[in-house]
Structure 1
Amino acid sequence: MVRGWYIGSSGMNAQQNRLDTVANNLANVDTAGYKADTIISKSFPELLLRRGNDDGRYTGDFGSADNAPIVGKLGLGVETNENFTDFSQGSFRITDESTDFALGGKGFFAVQTPDGERYTRNGNFHLGKEGILETKDGYPVLGENGIIRLSDKKFSVNEDGVVLTKDDEIVDRMKVVRFDNERYLRKMGNSLWSSNNISGEAYIAEGNERPRMMQGYMETSNVNVVNEMVKMIEVNRAYEASQKTVQSEDSMMSTLWNKVALSR
């Protein structure tokens, strides 16, 4: 019976993690470049059930069985296995702002933070007081030769990411990077990502790997509101089912303690 408590409580914990993820996705439905998360769960190792009072021996042409023959399996609950990020392309929204950008394909903008180089899909930039192209949080956007500096908003960026002044002078090329295993990038908050040993180090995207740069556009979140609301209903129902399991186990244990134990 005690095992039933653990099974039910593990299910409740797993559904709570799913609910937190769904709530975070819905909260960021209007965040430019946001990528939705999905919780993946797995079952605990299953317990083999055996007939403890059966020696398992039988006659015939099949030899003999184990001393405690297996009669089935019992699951021991569920746990959160991975927080998986969906990197599918979001839709594009026209802003007609020269400092707004979207990437048409896989890849990330590179920005400079106090903790080192970080990466983002959110191209909602602006010009800082010193003419530095920055994110909304004030992090400088990087070109292949360093921080991008501009005199005013009258500049253009072609599809390859080359930044040109109003006089068609080349300033730099925006640093757009790819990773060997981008699904393992770590979310850092504020639409930023960091690399790790599993994702591999960032490398500048070239050729067919380089996404198309789109000036005057922003990539919207890839969160599907309808799907997330359906998931929220599913999570609530699954949580209630696990909760009832715990309550039933508690009721049976109460009966065992109050009736069976006291009757002896």
Structure 2
Amino acid sequence: MIRGWYTGASGMNAQQYRLDTISNNLANVDTAGFKKDVTVTKSFSELLLRRKDFDGVYENPFGSADAAPIIGKLGVGVETNENFTDFSEGSLRLTNTSTDLALHGKGFFAIQTPDGERYTRNGNFMIGKEGILETKDGYPVLGENGIIRLEDDKFKVNEDGIIVTKDNEVVDRFKVVRFDNERYLKKQGNSFWYETETSGPAHIAEGFERPQFIQNYMETSNVNVVNEMVRMIEVNRAYEANQKTIQSQDSMMNTLWNRVAAVHR
């Protein structure tokens, strides 16, 4: 019965992790370029139960056999295996703002931050006081020749990410990167990601790897509110079921203790 407590508690912990992830997804449903997280759980190894009586082997005309019958298997709970990011593309929203850009296809904008180069799908940019193209948090957007500088917002961006002024002068081309294993990128906040050993280093996207640039549009979050609310209801029901399991185990243990105490009086 004590094992039942731990089994129920492990289930509650796993559902709490799922609830935290879903809550974060819902909190960022209006964050441009946000990618939802998905929690994956796995079960602990099952225990194979055998009877204690008649343990050992016995001889028969066809050789030896195990005399301890198998009762069955017992699960001992679950644990959170990992949280991974779903990088599926969000829908595009028309903004009619020239500094807003969306990427159609895989790839990330490169941003210069005090912590080093970071990567994002959030193309909701603006032109700063010094004529630098920046994120809403004031971090410079990088082109292949460095920080992108613009005189005004009268510029065009073609499908390849080349920036052209109103006088048809080429300013730069957006630096867009890809990773060998983008699933293993780490989130940093502000819709930023950074590379890890598992994801591999960033490399500039060229050719078929390069996404299509769409100006005057912004990529929205890929969070589906209805699906996340359904998952939240499932988590609450599963959490309550595990909670009732612990309560039932506690009630049975209490009954056992009372009866044992009554016998020994």
Structure 1-normalised TM-score? 0.96
Once the two structures are superposed, residues 22-54 of structure 1 have per-residue CA deviations (whole angstroms, 9 ceiling, x without a partner) of 111111111111111111000111112122222
Secondary structure of the residue that 1:218 maps to in structure 2?
strand
Question: Partner of 2:145 in structure 1?
Answer: 145
- Corresponding residue number in structure 1 for 2:26: 26
Deviation at 1:236, TM superposition (A): 0.6
Cross-structure match for 2:71: 71
Give the counterpart letter for 1:5 in structure 2. Answer: W
Distance in 2 between the 1:190 and 1:61 partners?
A: 74
> For residue 109 of structure 2, what is the amino acid of its counterpart?
F
Equivalent positions of 1:92-241 (< 5 A) are: 92-241=92-241
Q: 2: CA distance between counterparts of 1:73 and 1:208?
A: 51
1:142-184 residue CA offsets vs partner (Å, 9 max, x unmatched): 1111111111111111110111111111111100010000011
Q: Which runs of 5+ in 1 are unaligned?
A: none
Task: Report the count of equivalent residues.
Answer: 264
Q: Mean Cα displacement is larger for which, 54-63 or 203-212?
A: 54-63
| Alignment CA distance shift 1:126-1:252 (3 Å) | same
The alpha-carbon deviation at position 68 of structure 1 amounts to 4.5
Q: CA RMSD in A?
A: 1.4
Counterparts of 1:4 and 1:35, CA distance in 2: 37
2:114 aligned partner, one-letter code:
P
**C-alpha offsets along residues 221-264 of structure 1, whole Å, 9 cap, x if unaligned?**
11111111110110010000000001011111111222223422
Tell me if structure 2 keeps the 8 A contact 1:37–1:83. yes
Q: CA deviation at 1:200?
A: 0.6
- Distance in 2, matches of 1:104 and 1:10, equals 41
**Aligned: 1:5 with 2:8:** no
CA distance in structure 2 between the partners assigned to 1:235 and 1:169 by the alignment:
55
1:83 aligns with 2:83: yes
Shift of 1:70: 3.7
The 1-side partners of 2:172 and 2:229 are apart by 44
Distance, in Å, in 1 between the alignment partners of 2:58 and 2:107 is 64
Identity %: 75
Amino acid at match of 1:104: H
- TM score, norm. by length of structure 2: 0.96
Shift of residue 63 of structure 1? 3.1
How big is each residue's C-alpha offset from its partner over 1:195-235, in whole Å with a ceiling of 9 and x where there is no partner? 10111111000111100011110011111111111101100
Give the aligned partner of residue 50 of structure 1: 50
Separation (CA, whole Å) in 2 of partners of 1:62 and 1:220 = 70
Are the counterparts in 1 of residues 59 and 65 from structure 2 also a CA contact under 8 Å?
A: no
Q: Give the Å deviation of 1:60.
A: 4.6
After superposing the two structures, state which structure 1 stretch, 94-103 or 64-73, moved more: 64-73
Give me the whole-angstrom Cα distance separating, in 1, the residues matched to 2:65 and 2:183: 47
Contact 1:56–1:69 (8 Å) recurs in 2:
no
Post-superposition shift, 1:73? 1.4
Quick one: which amino acid aligns to residue 253 of structure 2? M
Structure 2: stretches of 5+ with no match in the other structure: none
